[in-house]
Structure formats: structure tokens, C-alpha cells
Structure 1
């Protein structure tokens, strides 16, 4: 009995080892995620400074006259035609009065020339009648040749006088046209003494000073309609994705998010920085000012697609793949991946919505491996 007990006790460790070796191995635990259909966006980063969409410079259109009044300041919103400043009108008013007088004199010259034509025409009519009578008398022998010659000369002189009077009328009309132009210029110069806004907008700069005589520099600078937009730098590799009209989300320093749209795509690329400059029109928001820094995104595409966590897509020299889990087994799928959006990767081909995939560490498994999902 003692020997039997000893034999049984020696066999116990061996039986335990056999039982342990026969137990099935535990399946690895993996984190699963579901392929879902949702919205995905393609975005291009942009950054730059705010600028005026259209800057308008206001100059004095008449020179040599001092500024006597300023009626607009930086920051003012003005309408088209609103007076911004005034110039001295003393000399301009006198020039207009002189031009008016010259015009009236030219009009009188027209009347005088017309009277001279009428007088010359009457003289010519009389000379022609006398010549005809004298010719008749000469044919009947009742007038001498000398008298006939005098009548011929008188008729010729009257005809020349009529021609000269007609030419005088042309000169008088030219003088009237010249006087009319001079009067119009004088009126325009007097009107230009009031410096007005050519468009509605916001005054952003003023160099006009009381008592100064304007030179070649602009007296005021306006932003037409107050429109401010982003002049944004775009990397050259993203230029082909941009299309005018694309939506944009821009963060403006001190103001926060502002919506906008791409107005102009870059027409050229800087050979040094490899950046192109785009123009993004921004929604009107109080506080937009030229010079503010802004950055954000241009949304070049927005669509629905099947997506998985970005970490679930494995890529190497052979291509891209995803570890799909079906009935507790790994099924390695070749896929065609697209955009990354908010931590998820677009799957164009290879995985359907609703399938479970290994979210992380999929590279450690091969097709056919058994796994179990983490709780």
C-alpha cells in the first residue's frame, strides 16, 4: 500500500502537466471599430492677412488751391458723392465768371457775323441788279463801257464781301465753341473744389490737412463698400484642388471664426516660397480690418463615404489594407483609402459599412488568426 501511494504521488505532477498542455490557448484580445458611412471633407490650409477687396484713392482734381474744410475722418462710412473735403473757391469762381463773359461775347460775335452776312447778301443782290441793267443799257447804246465795267467790279466786290462775311460766321462759331468748352471746364473746376467720394465705402486713410495745397498724393483712401477679404498663402501642391466658390472657414485674430468663399485662385506661384496667393471673400462681420492675421481652411470637397479609424488602415510597399474581423477570425482586405477627416480614414474600396475592423495594432495579425473583441 505504501508503494502504491508513492507511485500515485509521483504521477500527479505529470498528469497536471498533461492537463495543462491540453488546454486550448486563449485568443488575443483586440479593439474593434465599425466601418461607418458619414460625411468627410477635403480641406486645404490657408493663412495670411486681411486686405481691402478694392481700395479707392481720392485725389484733388484741381490743383493750386488750398484746403478750406475737411468733412470726413478715418473710420467714417461714406456714400457715393458725399463731400470729403473742400478747396478754396475764390479763384475758381472768378475764372467761371470770366468764362461766362467770354461765352457771351462769342454769342454776340455770332449775331454780328450773321448781320454782316445779311448786309453783304443785300449788297450783292443790289450789285447784281445794277449789273443786269447796265448790260441792257450798254446793248442799246445808252451806257458807256466804263459804266458797265464799274457795275461788274461792284458786283464782284459785293460777292467777295458775302464770302468774307460767311467765313466770319465760321470763325465766330468756332470762337463760341471754344468759349463753351472754357466755360464747361471752369464749371467742372468749381465743382471739383468739393472733393467727393467716388464710391460708397469706409475711410481708412486721410492725408488732407487744412490750409495745405494738394499735390500728387491721395487725400483719402477708401475701402469700396467696406469689403475686407483674406489674402491667403496656399502651398503649391494644393492649388489644383481649389475652385472659385469653395467654402472657407477662417479664424480671424481677435474675432473668431468667420465664414467665407474662395473668390480668386492663385494665378502664379512664388519661386522662392513655393506659395500662391488666393483671395477669400469673407462674410461681413463687425471688426474686420485690413492687416489682421487670419488662418483657416478652404473646403474643396464634402461627401458621404465609408470610414474607419485612421489607425485601422495599414500601409506598406505592397499597398493599403485593413484587418476585418468576421466570426472571430481576421480577414485581411486590400483597400483603396482616401481622405482623413477628424481621425477617420475614407475607404473607397474594400470594406462595406457595418463591418468590424481592428482599430489598432492590426499589423500583428494575419488572415485567419482567431481573436476576440475587447469588452
Structure 2
């Protein structure tokens, strides 16, 4: 009997030991995942924009003379010109004929003035002689008054001749001005960017030429509303080129108006000694002011949902994974600003593609981002 009891006790102990061993083997260890806290960082931001090359100051060159035939064109698009250089010549035979007539009239008027001055001199000389004779009672008082009248008439004729010269001179100046208008003159140094003038064509209200003043061109870029408010005069810019050679410039002008149809604004980027063709396309990187970010997380931690929302996986104090929807801000390299949805103490799963899901219990390992 004692042997039976002892056997039963030993059997029970053996079975209990086996049970504990099986329970030990059945425990599954928790998955370890790397987590990070939101970081405080300083983002160096770059804005990439594109646009076309334009003249810094585009000068439209035309003429006030309408309907005149273009006799000759002296320059082509791309020609370098200087201030005062003749670009084209218009038909001017009528104006030239009028100028010649006015010059002839002016010459006659000047000759008439000389004659009137001679007559006046003679009349004044005779008046002096008549005054001496009248003092000696050699002539009558009536003869003296007649001579005085001749002097007055000669003076009036001289003034009339001067007035005629002034009038004709004004006509000559006007004719010469009209004649000069027949020559289309460059108003400044620069490069001809467009030539509309063709020999034999008639002039109208449209510009005959377009000139890039001093040959200076700029990149005019377009930006949406969110981008244009970031641009400030003087920001550094780097031109993207096929040769990968850096060409540095800066923002010269930000236009204060947004196009109501396209909702795009414009800015001008100036580069020194740029040789790009007018109208050609280029891209530029603009260095924006540095931004201090208080909640930055690795880009790898972000999940982009099909509904357009963004989220991260957060491990709570109990080790349970929960999905947290967030609002993103700017991006810098492999980091993204979180505008809302996180606190600085949250533990974010660093890899959104890790084999963990909402509701899992994990063992978090805090690492530096």
C-alpha cells in the first residue's frame, strides 16, 4: 500500500514538471521594434521653380508715322546695337521735298531780312542828314517828318522779316523732325530680340523691333500661391544646367499680383552674364530661409493612406501599437515636419513597413533618428 501511494505521488510530480515545461515552451516573445521621438530640427529648404528667359527691360521700338513703306532694314534679331544706331529707314520723299521747300523759303526770308536791314540803315542815315538840314532851315518840317516815317516803316519791315524767319524756321524744324522720324533709331544699347520690320511693308501701330536693354536677360519663373509667399528679394538661386555647372543668381523681383485665371504668381531671377536665348526654358533651385521644426519624424515612418490621409504607428505606454493620423508640413531630405497629431514624448515606429499593425503588442527600442 505504501509503495502504491509513493508511486502515485511520484507520477503526479512528474506530470506537474512536464506541464510547467510545456507552459514555458508555449510563451512567445514580443516583437522588438525601433521607435523614435519627434525631433527638434532646423530645415534647410529649397524651392525648385521653372520658367522662361525674358529681357530684364524689354524696349518696344516703333514709329508714329503710319502707312509709310519700309525702305530698308539694317539689323537682324540677335544683333547688338548702340544708342542712336539706325535700325530701319522709311519712305520719306514727301517729307524730304517739304524740307527742301522750307529750306528754300528760309533762305529767301533771310535775304529779305538783309535787304530790310540795309533799307533801315539808309533811312536812319538820311534821317540824320535831314535833321541837320532842318536845323539850318534848309528843308521843310514836312520833309523831315516824311523821312522819319520812312525810318519807322523800315523798322517795321525788319521786324516783319524776323518774324517770317522764325515762322519758316519752325516749319524747317518740323520737317527735319519728320524726316528724322523716317529713320528708326535705337533708343539704347542692347540686343535686338525680335524683328517685325520687313522691307516693303507698311508701318502700323505695332512695334518694328524689340530690344533687350543693355543685353540683360532674366529667368521669369511661375509659382503657386503657397510658393510665391515664400519668395523674397535677394534669396540665393542656382540654375540647373545640362552641364551640371553651377550658375549662381538671386531673386531680383517678386511680382505683387497673382493671375486670377491660373492662380500663379511670377518672380524674376537675375544671373550675371547669362547667355540663354530669349524664351528658352530653365529650372532653378531657390534657397529659402531656414525653418525651425519642433516635431520632425523620419520619412520612413509615414504611411500614406488611400483616402489621402497620412499616419504613423505609435507605441503607447502599455506597448500596444496604435495608428495616429497626422498633418504634414515641409520636408527636408529624409525628414518630415508634423504640424499636428503628435507630442514630443510619443514613440513612433521608425519603419512604417515593419511587420506590425494597429493593436499589436510589441517591445519598443528607442533609438536616435
1:122 aligns to 2:113 (yes or no): no
Match of 2:365 in 1: 372
Question: Closer, same or farther in 2 for the Cα pair 1:73/1:128, shift >3 Å?
Answer: same
Q: TM-score, normalised by structure 2?
A: 0.67
Matched-pair contact (CA < 8 Å) for 1:33–1:309 = no
1:197 match: 186
Aligned partners of 1:26 and 1:212: how far apart in 2?
88
Alignment of 1:1-375 (within 5 A): 3=7, 5-16=10-21, 26=30, 28-32=32-36, 40-41=44-45, 43=47, 46-60=49-63, 66-87=69-90, 94-134=97-137, 150-151=140-141, 153-249=142-238, 260-282=249-271, 284-290=273-279, 292-294=280-282, 298-302=286-290, 309-310=298-299, 339-345=330-336, 359-360=350-351, 371-372=364-365
1:266–1:276 contact (8 Å) kept in structure 2: yes
Query: Aligned pairs, how many?
Result: 340
User: Is this contact kept in 1: 2:85–2:186, CA < 8 A?
Assistant: yes
Structure 1: state its 5+ residue gaps.
138-146, 315-320, 325-336
Please report the TM-score for the alignment, with normalisation by the length of structure 1: 0.66
Report deviation, 1:232: 3.7
Unpaired stretches in structure 2, ≥5 consecutive residues: 304-311, 316-327
Pairwise CA distance, 1:240: 3.9
- Take 1:154 and 1:252, find their aligned partners in 2: how far apart are those partners? 99
Contact residue 39 and residue 305 of structure 1 kept, 8 A: yes
Cα deviation code 1:85-124 (max 9, x no counterpart): 3345666555444443333323223322222222232233
Kindly state the Cα deviation for residue 29 of structure 1 after the two structures are TM-superposed.
2.4
Which residue of the partner structure matches residue 143 of structure 1?
none
Shift of 1:69: 2.8
Offset at 1:30? 0.7
String of CA shifts for 1:245-289, please: whole Å, max 9, x gaps: 223456689999875433332323344444333334455544432
State how far apart, in whole Å, the 2-side matches of 1:19 and 1:66 are: 106
Distance change (3 Å), C-alpha of 1:364 and 1:156: farther
- Structure 2 residue matching 1:106: 3-state secondary structure: helix
Q: CA deviation at 1:10?
A: 0.8
| Alignment check: 8 A CA contact 2:52 2:278 kept | no
